[in-house]
Structure 1
Amino acid sequence: MSETIHALIEQYGLVAVFAGCLFEGETAAILGGFFGHQGVFVPWQAFAAAFAGAFLGDASFFLAGRRFAEHRLVRRLRKRPGFSHAYELVRAHPNLFVLTNRYVYGMRLLGGVVAGLSDIPPLRFLLLNAVSSLSWAALFTGLGYFFGLGAEQLLGETLHKHHRLLIALGIGVVVLLLGHFAARRLSRRRKDGEPADGT
């Protein structure tokens, strides 16, 4: 079973990293870096897949806000908690908003649409999005690479395929739990009327 899963990761893993990074993506980018360290992926290809997914995802959300502002899905997003706060931020600090929005867990999709609804020029958004996507992909794939290095140091041997899968599963669960906790805490702060952190 582990051999089959490992073979699927080798064959389709970079596509999964790209697809995962189209949306929130932290887990996908970290796992891309981890498998890059393990030689399952070429490290620069894992980074490139994470960058491309992050960049194209946010560009798509921006386009949705800019071109389809009256679509029912965009109107539904406007009713989500945090929309008015995000819109105030993007109007007050457009450059900083685009550069940092992807680091706020659970707000990336909403933030991209909000940016599209603002008056940020498309070229400026694309340039800032490229810078943000590069730094984000480097941070999270680098973190995954570091996890791979740490796992080998801890176990004192080259990881076997089933070790890789178990560690990858553990990384995924921990990242998802941390993200869920961060999103709940941010939501609670907004409900309490406290200013939200930018990271």
Structure 2
Amino acid sequence: MTETIHLLVEKYGLIAVFLGSLAEGESAAILAGFFAHQRIFVTWQAIAATFLGAFGGDTLFFLAGRHFSETRFVTGLRNWPGFDRAFRLVQEHPAAYVLLNRYAYGFRLVGGVAAGLSGIALPKFVFLNVVSSAIWATLFCTIGYVFGLGAEQMMGAALHKHERLLIALGIGLAVAALGWGVAHFSSRRAARREIS
């Protein structure tokens, strides 16, 4: 069973990293770095897949806000807690907002739409998004790479295939749980502020 999963990760893992990085992709990026350290992925390919997913996702959400503002998808995102705050921030500090939005877990989806609804010019957004996506992809892949190094230090130089998968699963679940907790706490806090 683990052999089959390992082969699937080797064959389709970078596609999964790309797809996972389209939205809230921290766990996908960290897993990409971990698998790069374990030599399942080539490091530059892991970073490239993460970068392309992050850049593509934010650009799609920006374009959705810019050109499809009346669709059910965009109007639904506009009703999320924190959207008004995100829209206000992008109006006040457009460059800083585009550069830093992806680090506010739980707000990347609404952040791209808010940027699209703002007056930011498309070329400026694309340039800032390239810079931000490159830094983000490198940072989170490096974190995963360091996790791989730590696992190797703790378990020995040669991690077996099933150990790699179990460690990666643990990392993915921990990051997803942490991200969910942060997003849940942030949205409840934003909802309380809006009520006050």
Do they fold alike, i.e. is TM over 0.5? yes
Aligned with 1:192: secondary structure?
A: helix
Give matches, 1:1-199, under 5 Å. 1-193=1-193
Q: Which amino acid counterpart does residue 114 of structure 1 have in structure 2?
A: A
CA distance in 2, matches of 1:14, 1:191: 37
Whole-Å Cα distance in 2 between the matches of residues 191 and 70 of structure 1? 24
Contact 2:24–2:108 (8 Å) recurs in 1: yes
* d(CA) in 1 for partners of 2:159, 2:68: 48
Residue 192 of structure 1, CA deviation: 3.1
Amino acid of the structure 2 residue aligned with 1:104: A
RMSD between aligned residues = 1.0
Distance 2:17 2:47 in 1: 9
**d(CA) in 2 for partners of 1:64, 1:88:** 18
**Distance in 1, Cα, partners of 2:190 & 2:83:** 11
Q: Percent identity?
A: 61
Distance 1:76 1:28 in 2: 25
Structure 2: gaps (5+ residues): none
Q: Equivalents in 2 of 1:192, 1:83: separation in Å?
A: 14
Separation (CA, whole Å) in 1 of partners of 2:79 and 2:131: 29
Q: Secondary structure of the equivalent of 2:159?
A: coil
Structure 1's unaligned 5+ residue stretches are: 195-199
Spell out structure 1 runs of 4+ moving beyond 3 A.
none
Deviations 1:10-41 (A, max 9, x none): 00000000010011111111000000000001
Residues 73-98 of structure 1 show CA distances to partners (whole Å, capped at 9, x for unaligned) of 11121111111111111101111110
